[in-house]
A = this chain, B = another copy of it.
């Protein structure tokens, strides 16, 4: 197995101007693993309750996601309810039921402990740290977080950031964490905390990649249909680390390519509710969209001589 993902496995109620779903498969580890799985063998560590439908487990297995790290325990699965307004911007959380997730402490199965690429999806920084003590010298660790942990677990989060290779964070959260409105200043502050690289997610505006002294601008794929933005960031991260694992080398070039594939995978996720689009994707669809994005983003090398 090349990619280990630790995060939530959820049943989501989501309402957007395009419709709604109830008890739909969701969670950061689910989106990220389905995306990563297109590029490299992936497995997840998480927890589900007794109510978790068998068909979802089947779907993940059919996508070759390794499930030894998923505990099923008494109680209900983590449940999130949210809605999006007209512009499909930030989600408004209506309700979060932690359920079995409340007592979750990740236990990395022995067979997963040597996995070279690790994605610590958005969970309590305390739990993210516990994962790091259980994996043996991974080649690359990517860490995600959210506003809740920035507000309530700031010190632990900053400590974790020093122990990983790359942090992926959305632009508002980067500004919140660094305490500055200017994104470039925020990135500088984040980098001082110790991570070698930073990815700033900007939603429909793409992403910025900072690695060593390089900056990469990664455009988002312009979409005609956006039904449900849930899981876009997790999908991005999963596509990113899956691609990096597949390419096998870690340098600015592979990191940028990985970010392009992350943005492509995220563009599919938002085209439908839950993982409906992400779980019905052909290799051709992924590669064609990658080529389309490259064509749109290619800037002329023609110099304007002044």
Contacts and interface: CB of A to CB of B under 8 A. Distances in A.
Interface stretch (A51-59, A121-129, A156-164, A181-189): A181-189
A1 interface: no
B304 A243 contact: yes
A41 interface: no
A208 B182 contact: no
A299 B294 contact: yes
Nearest to A239: B304
Given A87-B181, A219-B219, A222-B217, A300 B260 contact: yes
B297 A297 contact: yes
Interface in A268-300: 283, 286-287, 290, 293-294, 296-300
Contacts of A185: 224
B286 A306 contact: yes
Contacts of A283: 306
A224 B184 contact: yes
A178 interface: no
Interface in A163-212: 181-185, 202, 204-206, 208
A299 B302 contact: no
Interface string A236-268: 000000010011000001101100110000000
Interface residues of A, number: 51
A156 to B, nearest CB: 28
Contacts of A181: 17, 86-88
B224 A260 contact: no
A40 B256 CA distance: 36
A301 interface: yes
B219 A304 contact: no
B257 A183 contact: no
Nearest to A253: B300
A177 B226 CA distance: 20
Contacts of A110: none
A223 interface: yes
B304 A217 contact: no
A57 to B, nearest CB: 25
A79 interface: no
A294 B299 CA distance: 7
A122 B175 CA distance: 33
Interface in A6-24: 17
9 contacts: A38-B306, A39-B304, A86-B181, A88-B181, A202-B205, A215-B222, A247-B304, A287-B304, A298-B299
Given A86-B181, A185-B224, 19 more contacts: A17-B181, A38-B306, A88-B181, A182-B225, A205-B206, A215-B222, A217-B222, A217-B293, A246-B304, A247-B302, A256-B300, A257-B299, A257-B302, A257-B304, A283-B306, A290-B304, A294-B301, A297-B297, A297-B299
